[in-house]
Structure formats: structure tokens, C-alpha cells
């Protein structure tokens, strides 16, 4: 019987899972990847094999089946009882000031993590939900939580401060940074494939529906664009990114905006969607730019695309300044790995720094897209947050392997 670890990554309307087989106590092999999508009173279950070929797709009523109970029973039936679940890993969006290292779940720990909900009210409850569910269904199963904020604890103390009255800092209101598990994976990956960039001054660009940059210096996070919340920094699919607080005061004063209105506007109606008026999806916007007949709509779409690139270039400049230079740039996540046009726009804008783009390599999404004469090496590298989580689970379950 094979030992397996299940890794969960919870979102607002879906729960992604990856099932890894563990061999010889440390060899990790991906078996299955899937997601559970929630829709009112139903949930959709999808699973693919290690070659990303769909093997199961079902829809159930939540009145008749509990999603996680179904996942465990499906795994047992699909694999005909050949796998023994020895541990579960979770991505938790916020670890606050106290949690840096992965930790095993206990009732007291759950209370502590729930107390951090005011720091991430839209995300913390979602990432804790599967932890609570498994605690109920499989109380003896070891659960390990890993924190998206942990990787950035190495940034200088001065960069963690917010220029607010000190009472807020004493309550934990400070800059934390996010996407840490993705950046942790990339930093380890670079040590294997490009130690020079791993130990130099490299900017990691995690560009997806959520987006941020990390200044990696000597292998550690030196600065990042997200701060107290996942709203800060870059313009995103539906999130505004960095914004003048005066705009929020305007909404409150002139539109009587309450907390829910602000949340809906800043998290769900802004970014690419807000500026374009069309979509949060970069692919949809690029297609619309070609097919749209209305010049006014085309203008709005172009503005959304241009503003997104502009903000990335602007923040790269800021990170290069605090690192006192830049040796490398790494694109990752859905947009970073696949949008050659965005990468080209960004790289051409950084030409004054000595960055020279290999346009053919870029169009092919090659691993290295800078030309040999470039002073900045530019890479495209897939991220793998789930693998990092699984690695962090292993030390806690060695006795069971």
C-alpha cells in the first residue's frame, strides 16, 4: 500500500487539491490533481491524472454529499484501496506576526489562526474551512498548515512598517506580503537551475488573477509589492492594487460607501475588469482588442492592458532601487508563464537597464527569454506551491512512512 499526502489550496469558490505519493520517505510523485467548485447548493468535482488527463467529472448536491467526504471516498474507490493517506497539507493565507514555520493543527492553533481573520477577512476563513472539515471527518489525520506570509518575514524591519499611528502597528497592522509559497518554490528552484540568480538580485513576478512581485536578494525576500493585504501593489484581475487612500475617502464621503461596498469595489470590480469594463481575464481582453468594433470599448481594453504593464514596470523599478540593482527577472503563474505580449512590453520598457529580449524565445515561452548580451537574465518558470506544501508536511509524518 502506497503512502499519500493530500495538499489543499482553498479559494473563494473552489478548493484545489493535489495528491502526492511518497516513496522512500522523501521522494514525492504527483498522482492526481483536481478541484471542487462550489455553486449554490451543488459542488462540481473534477480530477486529472499526473499527465493532466481528466479522469473524473461529477456534480452533486451538497444536501446529499459533503465535498471532502466525497473526495476521500472517491480516492479510496478510484485507487481500489491501494493508498494510505498519511497526512494533509494546507495553504493558509495569513500567519500573522507569530507563525513562520509550518505547524501541525491543534484546536488551540485553529483558534489562533481564526483570530487573524480581521487581517484577511475574505481569505482566512476560506483557507481554514477545509482544515475544520477534516478535523471533523478525520480527527486523527495529521494536518499541517503552511503560511503564504512566512517567506516575507526576512524583509527589513523598516519595510514592514506602515506610516500610521503606532497603535495600529501594536495591533499587528503592518506589511506582511503574500504569494510566499510560490516565491519559496521559485527560490529553491533557482538554486538548482540558476544559482547566480538565486543568490543575486532577482525580481520574481507572480502574475495571475492575483499578482505581486518579490525582490529576492541573497536567496531571501528583501521586499514585495503586497503589504498589509492582498489588495496592495500591482493591478490585478479584479483587485485595484496600490491606490491613493483619498479615493476611498471620496467613496465614503460622496457615495456613502460602507465596508461591504468598499470590499466589493476594491476586490471584485476593479483591476482589469474595472478599467476595461469587460473581463478579469487577460486572454479575453487581448482577443477583444482584435475583434471589438466599438472604438470606445477598444480604448478601454487597451487602457486596462497598458495600465497593468505600466504598474508592473513601475514596481520593478522600485524593487531594483531598494536592492541597488537587478541581475534577473523571473516570470511565473498563469499570466507570467503564458502571456508573451505582456512579458515583451515589460522587458522592452526595461531596456534602459540593459535588458535585451530574445523575441523568438519569448514567443515560444522558453525557459530563458533574454538574449545573450542582456545584462539582466530573464526566465520563465512554472511555480508549484503544492509541492512546497507537501515537502513541509513530510517532517511531521516520518514515523508513518
Q: Do β-strands 27-39 and 14-23 pair in parallel, antiparallel, or remain unpaired? A: antiparallel
pLDDT at 208 over 90: yes
Helix (H, G, I), strand (E, B) or coil at 194: coil
Residue 103, pLDDT score? 96
Residue recorded with cell 506580503: 177
Around Cβ 296, how many Cβ atoms within 10 Å? 9
pLDDT (average), residues 75-86:
78
Residue 289, pLDDT score? 93
Closest CA to 298 of 332, 270, 275: 275
pLDDT (average), residues 212-241:
97
How far is it, in rounded angstroms, from Cα 119 to Cα 99? 14
pLDDT at 64 over 80: no
Which residues are marked as active site? 148
Would you place residue 79 in the very low, low, confident or very high pLDDT band (cuts 50, 70, 90)?
low
Which of 12-26, 42-56, 256-270 has the highest mean predicted lDDT (pLDDT)?
256-270
pTM for the model:
0.93
pLDDT at 9 over 70: yes
Residue recorded with cell 504598474: 311
pLDDT at 12 over 70: no
Would you place residue 83 in the very low, low, confident or very high pLDDT band (cuts 50, 70, 90)?
confident
Q: Do β-strands 54-61 and 42-49 pair in parallel, antiparallel, or remain unpaired? A: antiparallel
Residue 84, pLDDT score? 87
pLDDT at 195 over 70: yes
pLDDT at 399 over 90: no
How far is it, in rounded angstroms, from Cα 103 to Cα 113? 11
- Please answer whether residues 332 and 205 qualify as being in contact, where contact means their C-beta atoms are separated by less than 8 angstroms: yes
CA distances from 27 to 48, 60, 391 (A): 21, 35, 9
Residue 164, pLDDT score? 96
In 261-389, where do the E strands start and end?
A: 328-332, 377-380
pLDDT at 303 over 70: yes
pLDDT (average), residues 362-389:
96
Residue 70, pLDDT score? 85
Lowest average pLDDT, out of 46-50, 293-297, 353-357, goes to 46-50
Q: Alpha helix (H) ranges present in 98-179?
A: 107-114, 124-137, 157-160, 166-170
> 4: phi > 0 → left, psi -120 to 50 → alpha, else beta; which?
beta
Would you place residue 207 in the very low, low, confident or very high pLDDT band (cuts 50, 70, 90)?
very high
- Please answer whether residues 231 and 267 qualify as being in contact, where contact means their C-beta atoms are separated by less than 8 angstroms: yes
Residue 68, pLDDT score? 85
Give backbone dihedrals phi and psi of 378, rounded to 5 degrees, phi first: -115, 125
- Per cent of the chain over pLDDT 90 is 82
Q: Mean of the per-residue pLDDT values for the chain?
A: 93
pLDDT (average), residues 310-327:
97
Residue 80, pLDDT score? 61
How far is it, in rounded angstroms, from Cα 252 to Cα 258? 7
Residue 119 per-residue DSSP state: G
Closest CA to 19 of 65, 79, 62, 60: 79
Residue 76, pLDDT score? 82
pLDDT (average), residues 61-73:
81
Query: Which cell numbers hold the place of 214?
Result: 518579490
**Higher-confidence position of 271 and 399:** 271
Would you place residue 221 in the very low, low, confident or very high pLDDT band (cuts 50, 70, 90)?
very high
Give per-residue pLDDT as tens, 228-264: 999 999 999 999 999 999 999 999 999 999 999 999 9
Residue 217, pLDDT score? 97
Amino acid at each position: 500500500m502506497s503512502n499519500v499526502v493530500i495538499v489543499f489550496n482553498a479559494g473563494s469558490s473552489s478548493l484545489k487539491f493535489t495528491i502526492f505519493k511518497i516513496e522512500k520517505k522523501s521522494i514525492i510523485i504527483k498522482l492526481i490533481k483536481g478541484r471542487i467548485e462550489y455553486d449554490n447548493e451543488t459542488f462540481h468535482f473534477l480530477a486529472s491524472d499526473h499527465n493532466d488527463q481528466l479522469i473524473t467529472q461529477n456534480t452533486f448536491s451538497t444536501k446529499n454529499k459533503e465535498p471532502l467526504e466525497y473526495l476521500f471516498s472517491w480516492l479510496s474507490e478510484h485507487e481500489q484501496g491501494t493508498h494510505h493517506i498519511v497526512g494533509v497539507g494546507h495553504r493558509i493565507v495569513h500567519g500573522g506576526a507569530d507563525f513562520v514555520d509550518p505547524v501541525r493543527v491543534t484546536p488551540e492553533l485553529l483558534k489562533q489562526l481564526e483570530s487573524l481573520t480581521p487581517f484577511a477577512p475574505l481569505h482566512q476563513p476560506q483557507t481554514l474551512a477545509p482544515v475544520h472539515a477534516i478535523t471533523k471527518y478525520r480527527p486523527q489525520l495529521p494536518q499541517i498548515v503552511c503560511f503564504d506570509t512566512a517567506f516575507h518575514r526576512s524583509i527589513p524591519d523598516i519595510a514592514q512598517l506602515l506610516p500610521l499611528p503606532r497603535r495600529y502597528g501594536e495591533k499587528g497592522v503592518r506589511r506582511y506580503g503574500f504569494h510566499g509559497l510560490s516565491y519559496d518554490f521559485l527560490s529553491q528552484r533557482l538554486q538548482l537551475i540558476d544559482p547566480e540568480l538565486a543568490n543575486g538580485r532577482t525580481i520574481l513576478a507572480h502574475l495571475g488573477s492575483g499578482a505581486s512581485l518579490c525582490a529576492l536578494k541573497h536567496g531571501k525576500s528583501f521586499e514585495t509589492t503586497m503589504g498589509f493585504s492582498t489588495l496592495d501593489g500591482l493591478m490585478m484581475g479584479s483587485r485595484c492594487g496600490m491606490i491613493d487612500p483619498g479615493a476611498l475617502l471620496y467613496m465614503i464621503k460622496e457615495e456613502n460607501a460602507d465596508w461591504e461596498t468598499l470590499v466589493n469595489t476594491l476586490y471584485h470590480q476593479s483591476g482589469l475588469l474595472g478599467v476595461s469594463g469587460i473581463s478579469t481575464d487577460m486572454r479575453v481582453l487581448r482577443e477583444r482588442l482584435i475583434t471589438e468594433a466599438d472604438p470606445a470599448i477598444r480604448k478601454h481594453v487597451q487602457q486596462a492592458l497598458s495600465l497593468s504593464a505600466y504598474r508592473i514596470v513601475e514596481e520593478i523599478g522600485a524593487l531594483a532601487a531598494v536592492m541597488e540593482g537587478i541581475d534577473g527577472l523571473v516570470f511565473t503563474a498563469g499570466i507570467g508563464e503564458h502571456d508573451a505580449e505582456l512579458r515583451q512590453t515589460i522587458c522592452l520598457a526595461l531596456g534602459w537597464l540593459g535588458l535585451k529580449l530574445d523575441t523568438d524565445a519569448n514567443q515560444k515561452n522558453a525557459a530563458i527569454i533574454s538574449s545573450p548580451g542582456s545584462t539582466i537574465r530573464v526566465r520563465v518558470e512554472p511555480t508549484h506551491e503544492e509541492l512546497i506544501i507537501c515537502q513541509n508536511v513530510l517532517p511531521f509524518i516520518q514515523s508513518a512512512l
